[in-house]
Structure 1
Amino acid sequence: MTNYQEPFTFQSGVTVKNRLIMPPMTTLQSFYDGTITNDEINYYAERSHGVGAVITGAANVTDMGKGWAGELSIAHDDDLPGLTKLASAIQAQGAKAFVQIFHAGRMSRSDALNGQQALCASAVAGQHRDGSPKTATPRTMTLNEIHETIAAFGQATKRAIEAGFDGVELHGANLYLLQQFYSPHSNRRTDEYGGTREKRFTFIKQVLDSVFAAVDQYADRPFVVGYRFSPEEFTTPGINLDDTFYLVDQLLQRPLDYLHVSLDKFDRVSRTKAYQEKSIMAYLHERIAGRKPLIGVGGVRTRSDVEGLLKHAEFAAVGQQLLVDPTWVQKLITGHDADMVTGNFADAIKYTQFTHPLHQFLVQRY
C-alpha cells in the first residue's frame, strides 16, 4: 500500500511532496467571460495547504466548449493574467498547480453558449439513467470544427505553460467532449472519427498529439500532462469496463504522467457482471500494472478512506471533504483526526464560508 506522505516524481520530472491531490471541482466563481475572480483565487489558495497538487476546475479551450456560467476559461490570451495569478496562488502554498482543460460538448448549457446549439461527435442528446433526455439535441461537429478543437487543446496547453502552471489535465470524463467521441452512445459517426473503438479513440489521440506538441515546443521546464476518464456509462449503448480497458491500454502508450479515474466512490463495483469480484479501481490498477500512476477519488473523508483507496492507486484525491474542511490535510498529517469535519455535506456547508454562486450551487447539489 502506498504511503500518502511519500513524495513522487512524475515521468516529466515534476516532483510532488505527497500523494494527496485536490481534484477538479465546479465552483462557478469566474466572471461571465471566464476571467478568474479574486474570490476564486482565495478559494484555491485556502485549500492548497498540505496537498501535493491542486487540479483546478474545468477550463474551456474554446468559447463553444463552455459548459456553464461562472466557468474558468483558457481559450484566449486575454485569460493569461488571471491564470498566472491562480497558478502562483496555489504554488505559494507549496502545492503544484495543474489546470484541467476541456470542451463540454453536448453538456454545454444553452445560456453558456448565448443560445447557440451545443456541439457533439453526433447529433444525439444526452440521457439520464432512466433514458429521459439530459441535454438538448446537439449539432454534429464538422471536420473543420473537430480540427479547430484539436488545435485549441494545444493552444490551451501553451497558455497553461505561459501562465506558470506545472501541468494540465485533459478532462476525458463526466460525459464531456473527449468522452463523447469515445462513447458509442454519443458517437454515431461513419467517418474516421467513429465506428470501432480504435476509430472512436482517434479524436482523443489527436488531442493528445496536439497537447504534447505544445509541451515539446513551449515548455521550458518539466510539465505534467494527465488524463481523467470515467470508467462506465449508464446508457445503452455506452462505455463499459472492457471499453475502458482498451482506452487505458491506448493511454499507457502515450507519454502521460498519470491517469485519473472519475468515481463517486473509490470502492465502487462495476455494473458489468464479469467484473464484480473487486472494485473498479482494483481492476484498473491491476490493468495499469505500475506503468503509470493512478489517481483515485470518491468519498475520501477519513484516514481510513485514504488508506483504503491507496491499496489500489498511487494518489488519493480529496474533493468534497476539502470543500467543507479546507485544513483537512493538515489535520491528517498532524494526527488531529478528531477535528475533521464529519456528518453530511448538507449540514457542513451551512457552517462553511463560500461565495454566493458556489454556496447556491452546493445547496442545490446537497
Structure 2
Amino acid sequence: MSNVDLFTAGALAGRDVGHRIVMAPMTRARSTQPGDVPNETNAVYYAQRATAALIVTEATQISPQGKGYSFTPGIHSQEQVEGWRGVTGAVHEAGGRIFLQLWHVGRMSHPDFHGGELPVAPSAIPFEGQIWKVDPDTGVGAMVDCPTPRALSTEEVRQIVEDFRQAARRAIEAGFDGVEIHGANGYLIDQFLRTTSNKRTDEYGGTRENRLRFLKEVIDAVSDEIGADRTAIRLAPFLTARGMDCPDILPTILDAASYLQSRGVAYVHLVEADWDDAPQFTEAFRRELRARFSRPIIVAGLYDTERAGWVLSRGYADFVAFGRKFIANPDLPYRLANGLPLANFDGSTLFGGEARGYSDYPAWTEHEGEQPEAVSA
C-alpha cells in the first residue's frame, strides 16, 4: 500500500506530470473524407483535453488494409501526416503530450473497405463481431456483421510488421511524442495471441512462443525505428467477446509483459472490461503482471476516483485512463481534482458528424456557475 492517488505527481513517457489521469483512445469517426484525413475539428477536440497527463488518440489505421470502421483516420499517406501535424501542434501549444494509437483491425472489418476483398486474419475462422459502417447511399452509419476473413500468408504477415514500422516513423514526422500499438480488443495483434483465432502452422502459430512472435516483431520494428521510450502497447487480457475466449491468454500476456520489460517500452496499457457481467481482473493476475513488468502500467475501464485510488495505492497501476468521462468533460482533471460535477455526453453523437457532441462540450469555467447534468465521478 502507498499514498499514491490520481493527484500524485509522476512521470510518464519521459515527462514529469502533476497527476495520473490519462485520456484513453476513443474512436469518434470524424476524419475528412475521402482519404481518412485528420482535420481542424480534430485538432480543437484534442487540444481542449491537453491537461491530461497523456492523450492517446483514437485508433489510427497503419495501412488501407488495416481499416475496419468508417471515417476513422489513417497514418499511411502524406495528407494524413499533414492533418495529424495540425493536431499535434495544437496539443503541444496547449501544453499537452500525445501518442498516436497504431491500428490494424485484422478480421474486424468488411469487404466494403477493401474493394470487395475479404478482411485478413491469422486464420480463416468464422466469428461473431460487428463494425460501424456508413452506407454510401444514405450516409447513415450502423453496426454490421464481419464476414469470415481470409488467412494471411507468411510474407504478408512480415509486410504488416513493416507497415507498423513505417506508420511509427510517419507518426513522429507528424509531431507525435510516441505511439501506442493497439494489441487489444480482438484486433490483429490480439488475434495472433489467441488459440481461438490463430490456428496457423507456420512460425506465427501453434506454440505460445510462435503466437507471440508477431507482437514481438512489431514491438522490435517500432522500437528500432523511433526508440523504445516512445513505444507503448495496449493489451486486453480478460477479453472474451468477438471469438477471443482463449484458455491460454493470461500466461501468454504475462510472457509478453516479460518481453516488453526487456525492451524497455514506455508503458503497457491494459483494457479492463467495461460492460455488464464482463470478466473481472483478478488481483492475482495484477500481482503477476507487476512482477513481470515494473515500468509504467496504465489501466482503463469504468474507473472513478475511488477505484482509481485503490488500483494506484496498491501499485497495480501507475496511471488511470478515462474515456467516456473525457468526452463531455474536456477539463476532466480539473473537475476531478476539485470534486466538481461531471457532464453527461450525448450517445447519439459518439460516431460520425462534426463539432456537435465532439468539440462543443464546454470546460467548467465556461459554464459561468451553471451546474451541468451530473454523473458519478
**What TM bracket, shorter-length normalisation?**
0.7 to 0.9
Q: Report Cα offsets for 1:154-173 as digits up to 9, x if no partner.
A: 11111111111111000000
1:186–1:330: structure 2 CA closer, same or farther, 3 Å change rule? Answer: same
Question: Which amino acid in structure 2 is aligned with residue 163 of structure 1?
Answer: A
In 2, Cα distance between equivalents of 1:321 and 1:24: 12
Name the structure 2 match of 1:42: 44
Q: What residue in structure 2 maps to residue 328 of structure 1?
A: 332
Question: Letter of the aligned partner of 1:157 in structure 2?
Answer: A
Q: Which runs of structure 2 are paired with 1:1-366 in the superposition (5 Å)?
A: 1=2, 2-10=4-12, 13-32=14-33, 33-48=35-50, 50-127=51-128, 135-216=146-227, 223-234=229-240, 235=243, 236-237=245-246, 240-265=249-274, 270=279, 279-280=281-282, 283-289=285-291, 291-300=294-303, 302-311=304-313, 312-333=316-337, 335=338, 337-341=339-343, 348-349=345-346, 356=353
Partner SS for 2:221: helix
TM-align CA RMSD: 3.0
Q: Which amino acid aligns with 1:283?
A: F
Q: Looking at secondary structure, tell me which structure has more helix per residue.
A: 1
| Contact in 1 for aligned 2:6/2:19 (Cα 8 Å) | yes
Q: Distance in 1 between matches of 2:61 and 2:148?
A: 20
Decide whether the 8 Å contact of 1:296 with 1:317 is kept in 2. yes
Structure 2 CA distance for partners of 1:340 and 1:150, relative to 1, 3 Å: same
Number of equivalent positions: 336
**What amino acid is aligned across from residue 252 of structure 1 in structure 2?**
Q
Kept in 2: contact 1:108–1:118 (CA 8 A): yes
Once the 2 structures are TM-superposed, how far is the Cα of residue 357 of structure 1 from its aligned partner? 6.4
CA distance, structure 2, for counterparts of residue 47 and residue 192 of structure 1: 43
Asked if structure 1 preserves the Cα contact closer than 8 Å seen for 2:272 and 2:300, the reply is yes
Calculate the TM-score normalised by the size of structure 1: 0.82
The change in CA–CA distance for 1:13 and 1:197 in structure 2 (over 3 A counts) is same
Structure 1 residues 117 and 352: CA distance shift in structure 2, 3 A: closer
Report the alpha carbon displacement of residue 134 of structure 1 after superposing the two structures with TM.
Answer: 5.5
Counterpart position of 1:364: none
Distance 1:224 1:195, change over 3 A: same
Q: Give yes or no for contact 2:41–2:354 (8 Å, CA) kept in 1.
A: no
Q: Name the TM-score, length of structure 2 as normaliser.
A: 0.80
| Structure 1 stretch displaced more, 95-104 or 306-315 | 306-315
Q: Name the counterpart of 1:276.
A: none
- Cα 1:69/1:46, change in 2 over 3 Å: same
The verdict on how the C-alpha distance between 1:281 and 1:54 changes in structure 2, with shifts beyond 3 A counting, is: farther
Query: Per-residue deviation at 1:314?
Result: 0.3
The alignment partner of 1:226 has SS state of strand
| 1:183 Cα offset (Å) | 1.1
Structure 1 residue 285 displacement after superposition: 4.4
Q: Give 1:256's aligned amino acid.
A: V
CA shift for structure 1 position 282: 6.1
Structure 1 residue 281 displacement after superposition:
6.1
Structure 2 counterpart of 1:340, which letter?
Answer: L
Q: 1:196 to 1:99 in 2, by over 3 A?
A: same
- Name structure 2 gaps, 5 residues minimum: 131-143, 359-377
Q: Distance in 2 between matches of 1:52 and 1:211?
A: 23
State, as a whole percentage, how many aligned pairs show the same letter. 29
Q: Tell me if structure 2 keeps the 8 A contact 1:14–1:224.
A: no
Question: Is contact 2:349-2:357 (8 Å) kept?
Answer: no
- Identify the residue that residue 137 of structure 2 maps to in structure 1: none
Q: Displacement, 1:339? A: 2.4
Preserved CA contact (<8 Å) 2:349 2:356: no
Counterparts of 2:120 and 2:347, CA distance in 1: 37
1:292 aligned partner, one-letter code: R
SS of 1:146 mapped into structure 2 = helix
Alpha-carbon distance in structure 1 between the residues aligned to 2:346 and 2:65: 32
Query: What is aligned with 1:275?
Result: none
